[in-house]
């Protein structure tokens, strides 16, 4: 650790805290920067703290938030040794720490995180796929439960879906959020390519009009009832638009399983 005596003094004060291990990890990671700059972490300005946060590369919102508060507390502890007698974090906006979350390795999402992503979808046809996968609609063979779902398979009053996968049939109760997206997806007649960011000559394409909930665009009719329809939309949106390259239809489904496991 850089400035070992001061840091050991601080860690002694934190003895018994569940965050001692996190503080030690931060101190070990900050050594190189402290040596290069020639000052202890508690003297860093906001620009230097930003560089450290990028180096630490937290993988989730919670971990980024936790690192931020540990840094805040460490600087606050020694702020009287700073020339300005203040804490640079007092000038940042709420959720400042969010910009440092390394999303490139994310594969799973909480429900709130998925809701944020769904809120950015301009096509209900995409959003409903993500929500259905999260709520457990999948199928043993090639996403058939999603591809086979028709308007007539929905009980709007009881929020029940009647799912079919070959010879296998089952019912599933879904959320109000899911029902709302199902309704919007059924009503949708056009599809905006690349989530509305396409620079193609025809960035909006007509959807195939039939009784299925999830429908392909008319010029790709052969893909309409094929697993490629699900795989392509998940890959296109998460990899190219939302920049989560490791997310798949399977991990979206597993995210919902994780939520269910925690709840029960």
If asked whether residues 40 and 88 sit together in one domain, one would say: yes
Task: Locate 196 and state its tokens.
Answer: 């509305």
If asked whether residues 134 and 50 sit together in one domain, one would say: no
Neighbouring CB atoms inside 10 A of 204's CB total 13
**Does residue 226 fall inside a structural domain?**
yes
pLDDT at 5: 87
If asked whether residues 160 and 247 sit together in one domain, one would say: yes
Average pLDDT of span 228-248? 91
pLDDT band at 224 (very low <50, low <70, confident <90, very high): low
* CB distance 194 to 237 below 8 Å: no
Burial of 209 (0-12, 13-18, 19+ CB in 10 A): exposed
Boundaries of domain holding 207: 111-263
Q: 261 pLDDT exceeds 60?
A: yes
Average pLDDT of span 203-213? 94
Neighbouring CB atoms inside 10 A of 186's CB total 18
If asked whether residues 179 and 235 sit together in one domain, one would say: yes
pLDDT band at 262 (very low <50, low <70, confident <90, very high): low
If asked whether residues 158 and 240 sit together in one domain, one would say: yes
Q: 263 pLDDT exceeds 50?
A: yes
Query: Whose CA is closest to 113, among 124, 123, 125, 98?
Result: 98
**Does residue 136 fall inside a structural domain?**
yes
- CA separation for the pair 137, 155 (Å, rounded): 15
**Does residue 53 fall inside a structural domain?**
yes
Average pLDDT of span 185-192? 96
Final residue in a domain of this structure, among 43, 67, 101: 101
pLDDT at 264: 44
**Does residue 106 fall inside a structural domain?**
no
pLDDT greater at residue 258 or residue 237: 237
Question: What's the pLDDT tens digit per position in 19-60?
Answer: 999 999 999 999 999 999 999 999 999 999 999 999 998 888
The most confident of the ranges 38-47, 100-109, 250-259 is: 38-47
Q: What is the pTM of this model?
A: 0.67
Q: 183 pLDDT exceeds 90?
A: yes
pLDDT at 139: 86
- CA separation for the pair 11, 24 (Å, rounded): 8
* Sheet containing strand 168-173, strands side by side: 154-155, 160-165, 168-173
Q: 103 pLDDT exceeds 60?
A: yes
Residues in the chain: 264
What domain count does the chain have? Answer: 2
* CB distance 254 to 260 below 8 Å: no
Rounded to the nearest integer, the mean pLDDT of the chain is 91
If asked whether residues 117 and 22 sit together in one domain, one would say: no
If asked whether residues 93 and 184 sit together in one domain, one would say: no
If asked whether residues 226 and 128 sit together in one domain, one would say: yes
**Does residue 134 fall inside a structural domain?**
yes
If asked whether residues 71 and 142 sit together in one domain, one would say: no
If asked whether residues 61 and 161 sit together in one domain, one would say: no
pLDDT band at 221 (very low <50, low <70, confident <90, very high): low
Task: Locate 82 and state its tokens.
Answer: 């700073």
* Distance (Å) of CA 98 to CA 70, 215, 259: 15, 35, 22
Question: What's the pLDDT tens digit per position in 80-99?
Answer: 999 999 999 999 998 999 99
Tell me if residue 138 falls in helix, strand or coil: coil
Final residue in a domain of this structure, among 71, 101, 131: 101
If asked whether residues 121 and 93 sit together in one domain, one would say: no
If asked whether residues 55 and 141 sit together in one domain, one would say: no
pLDDT band at 219 (very low <50, low <70, confident <90, very high): confident
pLDDT at 147: 94
Final residue in a domain of this structure, among 101, 134, 167: 101
- CA separation for the pair 60, 106 (Å, rounded): 8
pLDDT at 61: 84
Q: 66 pLDDT exceeds 90?
A: yes
Q: Are strands 190-192 and 168-173 parallel, antiparallel or unpaired?
A: unpaired
Q: 153 pLDDT exceeds 90?
A: yes
Residue 256 sits in a domain whose CATH number is: 1.10.443.10
* CB distance 146 to 132 below 8 Å: yes
Q: 157 pLDDT exceeds 90?
A: yes
Which range among 90-99, 113-122, 164-173, 218-227 shows the weakest confidence by mean pLDDT?
218-227
């Amino acid at each position: 650790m850089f400035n070992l005596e001061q840091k050991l003094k601080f860690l002694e004060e934190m003895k018994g805290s569940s965050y001692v291990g996190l503080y030690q990890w931060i101190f070990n990671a900050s050594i190189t920067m402290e040596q290069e700059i020639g000052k202890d972490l508690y003297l860093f300005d906001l620009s230097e703290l930003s560089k450290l946060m990028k180096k630490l590369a937290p993988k989730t919102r919670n971990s980024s938030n936790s690192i931020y508060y540990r840094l805040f507390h460490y600087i606050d502890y020694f702020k009287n040794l700073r020339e300005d007698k203040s804490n640079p974090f007092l000038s940042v906006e709420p959720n400042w720490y969010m910009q440092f979350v390394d999303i490139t390795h994310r594969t799973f999402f909480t429900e709130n995180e998925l809701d944020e992503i769904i809120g950015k979808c301009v096509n209900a046809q995409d959003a409903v796929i993500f929500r259905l996968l999260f709520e457990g609609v999948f199928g043993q063979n090639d996403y058939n439960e999603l591809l086979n779902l028709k308007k007539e398979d929905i009980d709007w009053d009881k929020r029940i879906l009647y799912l079919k996968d070959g010879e296998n049939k089952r019912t599933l109760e879904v959320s109000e959020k899911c029902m709302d997206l199902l309704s919007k997806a059924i009503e949708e007649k056009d599809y905006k390519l690349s989530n509305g960011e396409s620079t193609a000559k025809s960035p909006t394409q007509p959807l195939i009009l039939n009784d299925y909930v999830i429908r392909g665009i008319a010029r790709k009719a052969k893909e309409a009832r094929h697993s490629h329809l699900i795989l392509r939309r998940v890959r296109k949106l998460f990899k190219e638009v939302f920049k989560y390259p490791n997310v798949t239809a399977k991990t979206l489904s597993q995210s919902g399983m994780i939520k269910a496991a925690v709840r029960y």
